[in-house]
Amino acid sequence: MDREQYIKVMDFVRSKKHGISIIYITGKIITFLTALVYIITAALLVYMKDIRVIRVIAVPAAGFILLSAARAKYNAERPYEKYGFKPLFPKDTHGKSFPSRHVFSLFICAGAVSYVYPLPGIIIYIMGVMLAVIRVVAGVHFPKDVIAGALAGILCSMAGFADI
Q: For the whole prediction, is pTM greater than 0.85?
A: yes
Percent residues over pLDDT 70 in the chain: 99
- Give the angle 87-17-102 at the CA atoms, nearest 5°: 35
Long-range contacts of 4-7 (CB under 8 A, 24+ apart): 6/79, 6/83, 6/85, 6/139, 7/85
pLDDT band at 89 (very low <50, low <70, confident <90, very high): confident
Q: Is pLDDT above 80 for 126?
A: yes
pLDDT in tens, 94-119: 888 999 999 999 999 999 999 999 99
pLDDT score, position 164: 60
The region that residue 109 occupies, defined by phi over 0 for left and psi between -120 and 50 for alpha, beta otherwise, is alpha
pLDDT at 93: 82
Q: How confident is the model at residue 90 (pLDDT cuts 50, 70, 90)?
A: confident
Q: What is the pLDDT of residues 1-38, one digit of tens each?
A: 899 999 999 999 999 999 999 999 999 999 999 999 99
Q: What is the pLDDT of residues 64-84, one digit of tens each?
A: 999 999 998 999 999 999 999
Q: Are 100 and 148 in contact (CB under 8 A)?
A: yes
Q: Could you tell me which residues come within 8 angstroms of residue 75 by beta carbon, excluding any fewer than 6 positions away?
A: 95, 96
